[in-house]
Structure 1
Amino acid sequence: MNQATSIGAERLQRRMARGVDFLGSEAAILCGAMSWVSERHLVAAMSNAGGFGLIACGAMTPELLDREIAATKALTSKPFGVNLITMHPALFELIEVCNKHAVSHVVLAGGLPPTGSIDAIKQNGAKLICFAPALSLAKKLIRSGVDALVVEGMEAGGHIGPVSTSVLAQEILPDVADKVPVFVAGGIGRGEAIAAYLDMGAAGVQLGTRFVCATESIAHANFKKAFIRASARDATASVQIDPRLPVIPVRALKNAGGDLFTAKQREVAQLLDEGKLAMAEAQLQIEHYWAGALRRAVIDGDVEHGSLMAGQSVGMVTKEEPLADILATLMIEAAHALEKRAV
C-alpha cells in the first residue's frame, strides 16, 4: 500500500493525540487481551511497533503473572498494560503484582470493579481502564474514578454482550468522550473504521482478532490457518438451548466442538426433564464443558474440538505477517480515509 500523504497522517495524529497521550504509545491502538494469545511475545511486539500491548492474565496465578510481566519487560522498554478479570479469586494479589512491577495501565474486564479494587490499582499511579457495555454503566464507572473506557460491541471475539459496536459507540461517545478517553472495540479490521470512530470522538481503538496471525503470535499454526480461511459469518455466537442452563455468549469460529456443545445442552436438559440429574449438577456440566478448550485450540492446535474464539473481523485476516506490518497498514488506511475529510 502507498504511504499516506502528510495531510492524512497529520489528521490521524491529531485525532489520536488524546489516546496517545493517555497510553504513552505512538498509536492509540490497543491489542485486546486474548487468553493464551496475548502473552509476552505478542504484547512486546505490539508495543515495540508503536501500539499498546496488553497481557491477558486470564486464570494466571499471581506467580505466573509476575513471571509474564518480567518476561515482557525483557522484550520491550515501551509501555504495555495488564488485563485482569474481576471474578478472579486472587484479584487483589494480581493487582499487587502489577503494582510491584509499576505496570502503567491496568484493564479490568468481566464486570464492575469489586470494592477496593479501583483504589488498589490507582494507589501506585497506574491508570485504570474498564469496559462499559451501556451508557449508564459508563457514567457509573467514571464516577467511580475509572481513567478510561473500552466500548466493545458484540462483533468482538470471546465473551460478548448483546449490542453492536456501532450502536454502543453512538450511545456512549457523545455523552462521555469529553470526560475520559474512550476506546472503541469489536469487529474493527481496517483503518477506515478506525478513522470513523476517531471522528465520532473516540480517543483510539482496540483490536484483537486482526493481530492473532501476527508472525510473533505463539498461536498454533492450525489456529492461524483457521483464522485465515474463515469469513465473517463463520464467527458465530454460542446459543443457549434451555433457560435453566445459562450460557454466557461467546463468539468463536464454527467447529465440531460447537456442534457437540449444542448436543450436550440438549442431553443435559433432557436428563433434567426426566429427573435423572439435579439442577446444580446439570449447570456444572454445562459450565465445565469448555474448560481448557481455548488452550487446546491456541496452544495444542486442536481446531476441531477446541474453542476458536474470533471476532467477525476474522474475514479481514488473510495471511500471517509481522505485527509491525499489520499496524502500519491500519495506520495508512486510516490516514488515507482522513485525507478525504474537509479538515
Structure 2
Amino acid sequence: MSEQNNTVAVTDAPTQPELQRARKRLDALWRRGTDFLGTQYAILGGAMSWVSERNLVSAISNAGGFGVIACGAMEPARLAEEIQATRALTDRPFGVNLITMHPQLTELVQVCLDAGVGHIVLAGGIPPGAAIKAIKDGGAKVIAFSPALVLAKRLVKMGVDALVIEGAEAGGHVGPVSLTVLAQEILPHIQSVPVFVAGGLGRGDALVSYLELGASGGQLGTRFAAAEESIAHEKFKKAFVRAAARDAVTSVQLDDRFPVIPVRALGNEGGRQFVTHQADVIRRFQSGELTREAAQLEIEHFWAGALRRAVIDGDVEQGSVMAGQSVGMVTSVQPVAQIIDDLVEQATVALVRQQRRMDTDG
C-alpha cells in the first residue's frame, strides 16, 4: 500500500473495512480488561471526590465504560444511598473506590458487598490483607494501585485481582514517577492480573500504545471531570477548558521536616497562599510558638474543604482545582458518551494507520 503508487496514504481517511478490522484489533487488545470489568470498553472513570457520584458514574457506565463511585469520607449509610441511587440510573457494571485509611473501612466493604458491587477499588495506601480477604470472600473483585514494581508484585501475592498504575501526570494526589516510566517498569513483569494505566491519558491513540505494551485498559479522570454530566460547578469546568497542560502543577513543599503530599491542581491564588502559609507556620515552629505536631497539622489543614469549594461552590481561585496534565486536551464541555466515542475512534484510527505503515514497509 505505497503512497508512491498513488494508493492510500497513511493519513487518508480510513475506509469502512479498515475501521472494522481495527475495531476487532482494539477489542482483542483490551479484551482482558473488558472481560474483567464486564464492559464494552476497558475505560475506567477515575474516582474523584465530589465529582464521581451517581450522575457521572452512571453516565460512564451507560456509555460502555466503567464508572467508579468515590467514597472518600462518606459514612457507610451515605455510601449505601449513593450505590442505590447509581443503580437506579444504570443497570451496567460500576465500582466503588474506598480509601484504605478510612476508620470504617470494614463497614464500607460490607456495604459494597451487601449492595452487590462487583468491583471494589482500594486506594490511598497499601490495602489491609483483611480487607482484601473480606472482599474476595464476599464474591467481589479487588483493584489496587501500585506506584512501583516491587509493590505490584506484593499486591498480586496478597490476592488483588487487578492493578492500576497511575503516573505523576494525574490530577489529585500523585506519586513521583511518570506513566511512561511506570508502564515500562511494570507491564512487562505483571501478567497474572489485568493492569490498567492512568495519569495524563487524554486520547485513545495514546491508550493504544499502552495496550500494546500489555495494559488491559485505561483510567481517565480529568476528561470526565469536565463532562456535561459532571456535577462540578460551571466555573470549575470552564477553568479546565481554559487551562493548558503546564497549568496543572503539584503543590510545593518548603521544608522536609513538614512533608506535603503532592497534589496536582491548576495553579491559582490558593496555591500561592499555601506557600506563604507554610513559611509562616515554619517560622512559628522555629520560634517555639508551635510544636512540630501542631505545625504539621496547621499545614495539612490549609486545604480542608478546598476541593469542595472548587467543585461545588465554583471557587476556582481559593479552592483546589485538582486536574491532571491532560487538562490541556479538554477543549470543551462534552457529554460522557461523546468523550468515550472520541477515545474509541482515536484508538481505532491509530490502529488503521499502524496497519497501513506495516503494509507500506512490507
- TM-score (normalised: structure 1): 0.98
User: In structure 2, what is the equivalent of residue 65 of structure 1?
Assistant: 79
TM-superposed deviation, 1:244: 1.6
Measure, in 1, the Cα distance between the counterparts of 2:228 and 2:212: 31
Counterpart contact for 2:166–2:198, Cα < 8 Å = yes
**1:340 has 2:353 as partner:** yes
User: In structure 2, what is the equivalent of residue 74 of structure 1?
Assistant: 88
User: In structure 2, what is the equivalent of residue 96 of structure 1?
Assistant: 110
User: In structure 2, what is the equivalent of residue 125 of structure 1?
Assistant: 139
**1:276 has 2:289 as partner:** yes
Counterpart contact for 2:200–2:326, Cα < 8 Å = yes
**1:227 has 2:227 as partner:** no
**1:315 has 2:303 as partner:** no
Alignment RMSD (CA, Å): 1.2
| Unpaired runs of at least 5, structure 1 | none
**1:19 has 2:6 as partner:** no
Counterpart contact for 1:19–1:203, Cα < 8 Å = yes
**1:208 has 2:216 as partner:** no
Question: Given residue 238 of structure 1, which amino acid in structure 2 is its aligned partner?
Answer: S
The percent identity for this pair of structures is 62
Measure, in 2, the Cα distance between the counterparts of 1:44 and 1:174: 33
Question: Given residue 313 of structure 1, which amino acid in structure 2 is its aligned partner?
Answer: S
* From 296, 301, 313, the counterpart of 1:288: 301
Name the SS of the counterpart of 2:28 in structure 1. helix
TM-superposed deviation, 1:55: 0.1
Question: Given residue 73 of structure 1, which amino acid in structure 2 is its aligned partner?
Answer: R
Counterpart contact for 1:209–1:314, Cα < 8 Å = yes
Q: Which has the larger radius of gyration?
A: 2
Q: Can you list the C-alpha shifts for 1:92-144, whole angstroms capped at 9, x where unaligned?
A: 01001001101000000011112311011111210100001000000000001
TM-superposed deviation, 1:180: 0.5
1:163-312 residue pairs with structure 2 within 5 A? 163-176=177-190, 178-312=191-325
Measure, in 1, the Cα distance between the counterparts of 2:226 and 2:289: 45
Measure, in 1, the Cα distance between the counterparts of 2:302 and 2:110: 32
| Unpaired runs of at least 5, structure 2 | 1-12
Q: Can you list the C-alpha shifts for 1:175-214, whole angstroms capped at 9, x where unaligned?
A: 00x2100000000000111110001000000000011111
Counterpart contact for 1:29–1:205, Cα < 8 Å = yes
Give every structure 1 segment of 4 or more consecutive aligned residues whose post-TM-superposition deviation is greater than 3 Å.
1-4
TM-superposed deviation, 1:276: 1.5
Name the SS of the counterpart of 2:189 in structure 1. helix
Counterpart contact for 1:152–1:165, Cα < 8 Å = yes
TM-superposed deviation, 1:341: 2.7
1:143-162 residue pairs with structure 2 within 5 A? 143-162=157-176
Name the SS of the counterpart of 2:188 in structure 1. helix
Question: Given residue 125 of structure 1, which amino acid in structure 2 is its aligned partner?
Answer: G
Name the SS of the counterpart of 1:341 in structure 2. helix
User: In structure 1, what is the equivalent of residue 4 of structure 2?
Assistant: none
Name the SS of the counterpart of 1:179 in structure 2. coil
**1:112 has 2:116 as partner:** no
Measure, in 1, the Cα distance between the counterparts of 2:124 and 2:178: 18
TM-superposed deviation, 1:10: 1.2
Question: Given residue 203 of structure 1, which amino acid in structure 2 is its aligned partner?
Answer: S
Measure, in 2, the Cα distance between the counterparts of 1:226 and 1:341: 35
User: In structure 1, what is the equivalent of residue 20 of structure 2?
Assistant: 6
TM-superposed deviation, 1:173: 0.1
User: In structure 2, what is the equivalent of residue 31 of structure 1?
Assistant: 45
User: In structure 2, what is the equivalent of residue 52 of structure 1?
Assistant: 66
Aligned length, in residue pairs: 342
TM-superposed deviation, 1:262: 0.5
Counterpart contact for 2:42–2:66, Cα < 8 Å = yes
- TM-score (normalised: structure 2): 0.93
Measure, in 1, the Cα distance between the counterparts of 2:230 and 2:128: 32
Measure, in 2, the Cα distance between the counterparts of 1:202 and 1:330: 16
Measure, in 2, the Cα distance between the counterparts of 1:92 and 1:292: 25
Counterpart contact for 2:129–2:158, Cα < 8 Å = no
Measure, in 1, the Cα distance between the counterparts of 2:129 and 2:343: 38
Name the SS of the counterpart of 1:58 in structure 2. coil
